[in-house]
Amino acid sequence: MKNPIVDVYTTPGANTWTNRTGATVVEVWGISGGSGGGSGRRGAAGSARYGAGGGGGGALSIRTLRASTLGATETVTVGAGGAGGAAIGVNDTDGATGTGGGDSLFSATLTSQLKAHGGGGGGGGTAAAGTAGSNGVGSFVAGSGGASSVAATAADGGIAVNAASGGGGGGGISAANTHYAGGAGGTIRSCGMIQPAGGIAAGGTGAAGLTNSAPGVSNGGGGGGGHDDGAGGDGGAGGLYGAGGGGGGAGFNGFVSGAGGAGANGIVVVISWF
């Protein structure tokens, strides 16, 4: 029996796969790109200022196809990670929303094609909310981002079972000028992985997500901490492959708010069996 041939694609955008002579079955695994976290609000003392929502993680999809149903070549699309929202440098201004993760696809012509859909970017912090980014959808659902709060530490990124996790929410600031820490990045259920820490209150930077060689095993970035008398902390980047970036923390007028962490690029793995 001939050993399988494994093709791995990690470059975002369109790639070309070649059908191997003699192959009988093709197994495809794909993770969509992770979404970027939003940036926090920059606002005045005595006002509620939310940090941003963390970006949603990328979904994992798996398909098994007959090699005979495939063309001599097929297009493999790797979803790009979404950019984090830019830090805010203007007083009394809401944060920017992070960019959603790109879809990962195998074959645009088959009805049974692989599709792993990217999630939504974390919402920019406002005076009323810091909305979590939605999770990516596929064979296995990803973790959503964490939301911000002006009454407690921001929410952690959503935990995934067999897909990428979401980024933690950015820390907010209450109208009483109490600042809060960012949420931790999401992790993977049953894997015993440590969650990347959220930034401490007073503008700490969120930890970057851990990078792992196994597809579908990746942590979201931690959210940045809020700061009631200074700059908000930046969210951490999502870990490879497909994890969401952390949300940026809220900041005080005269200082920039925290930027959102970038989502990680996706991956597609194609295994040809003989």
Q: What gap in Å lies between CA 22 and CA 45, rounded to an integer?
A: 69
Contact 156, 143 (CB under 8 A): no
Cα–Cα dist 228/48, whole Å: 10
- Output the pLDDT for position 208: 93
User: In total, how many domains does the chain have?
Assistant: 1
pLDDT given for residue 216 in this prediction: 61
Give yes or no for a contact between 214 and 186, defined as CB atoms under 8 angstroms apart: no
Kindly give the parts of the chain with pLDDT less than 50: none
Sequence letter at residue 14: A
pLDDT at residue 144, as a whole number: 96
Domain hosting 51: range is 1-274
pLDDT at 93: 98
Q: Which amino acid is at 70?
A: L
pLDDT of residue 111: 56
What pLDDT score was predicted for residue 118?
92
Average predicted confidence (pLDDT) for the chain: 92
- Model pLDDT, residue 262: 98
User: Of the candidates 76, 52, 53, 51, which has an alpha carbon nearest to the alpha carbon of residue 65?
Assistant: 76
CA dist 44 and 144 (Å) reads 30
Tokens linked to 153: 């530490």
pLDDT tens for 100-149 read 999 999 986 665 577 899 999 999 999 999 999 999 988 888 999 999 99
The pLDDT of residue 72 is 94
* Model pTM score: 0.94
